[in-house]
Structure 1
Amino acid sequence: MGGEIDRPYSGAFVGKTHRFALRVYFEDTDTAGIVYYANYLRFMERARSDMLRAVGIDQRTALESGEGVYAVAEAHIKYRAPARLDDELVIVSRVLEVRAASCVIHQRVMRGDEILTDARVTAAFLTREGRPKRQPRGWVEIFERLKGD
């Protein structure tokens, strides 16, 4: 009945850069109407998951089949300016490095041309037991094609 309007939002690639837009809701903010610092990590997680989905990487199937799962192993983040209630933000993501069992993704949370946060996130591919595991070869090839820009 609802068709396209009932489908969740998906970001998109512009060249090798993935862009994921979102709006700041009341639940994202503290009592001063400023985005709580940990929520930037949630925003970036959504963008990374959307980026993987956009290139055909099915994390759910990999998890359910026991193939493996990505988990953040390291995150370096610089907070530059606060986002506020009702701001329209874009999370800009690009692959920096691809390793056997991990990849490094540069992410920025933007409000227009202003950088609000600048992060470098290492996502490790892990077994169900939490041990590092080589990423599927096809996924590594996808990440290699996305590097740079």
Structure 2
Amino acid sequence: MEPEDLPRRGRFVGREHRFPVRVFFEDTDLSGVVYHANFLRYMERARSDMLAMAGIDQRQAWGAGQGVYVVADLSIRYRRSAKLDDDLLVVTTLKKVATATVTIHQRVMLDGEILTDATVLAAFVQSGGGRPKRQPREWLTIFEGLLEE
């Protein structure tokens, strides 16, 4: 497979993760703007990409029975709509790391303007049981290196 045939990936700029998203017809509602829940999808993709690029293998952790991240709390503010063919950028930064959680700030942007602003509390939980559990030490070290100053 050629590099240009691979799905879009994000990148780190300093401690900030940037993930490009293009708005497709399926993302829009009857009025021609992005359906509000799709902003959550864009942010989820960006968080997953950020973890992978930072060296955190969620699939391996799940398969090994280590645990998985779940959204424990979410606060979101919609400021402006996005439309078909808009090239958006999801900007993700880490705000706080605790034993079993990480607080993540995300902005969906268009040409430098914030369209959607969210704070996500992701909790690491046991596979199958859903009870909070300590994040792997290596992951905490990675997160501490990415914390916004």
- TM-score, normalization by structure 1: 0.97
Letter in 2 for 1:51: M
1:43-101 CA-to-partner distances (Å, cap 9, x unmatched) read 00000000000010000000010000001001000000001111000000000000100
Q: Percent identity?
A: 57
Query: Structure 2 counterpart of 1:133, which letter?
Result: K
- Large movers: runs of 4+ above 2 Å: none
What one-letter code is carried by the residue in structure 2 that aligns with 1:142? I
Q: Return the offset for 1:6.
A: 2.1
Distance 1:143 1:5 in 2: 30
**Pairing 1:75-90 to 2, within 5 Å after superposition:** 75-90=74-89
Q: C-alpha separation between the residues in 2 aligned to 1:85 and 1:138?
A: 40
Aligned to 1:15: 14
**RMSD (Å), alpha carbons:** 0.8
Partner residue in 2 for 1:126: 125
- Structure 2 spans left out of the alignment, 5+ residues: none
**In the alignment, which residue of structure 2 is the partner of 1:66?**
65
The code of the aligned residue for 1:75 comes to L
Give, in angstroms, the shift of residue 5 of structure 1: 2.2
Match of 2:37 in 1: 38
Gaps of 5+ in 1: none
TM-score w.r.t. length of structure 2: 0.97
User: Partner of 1:147 in structure 2?
Assistant: 147
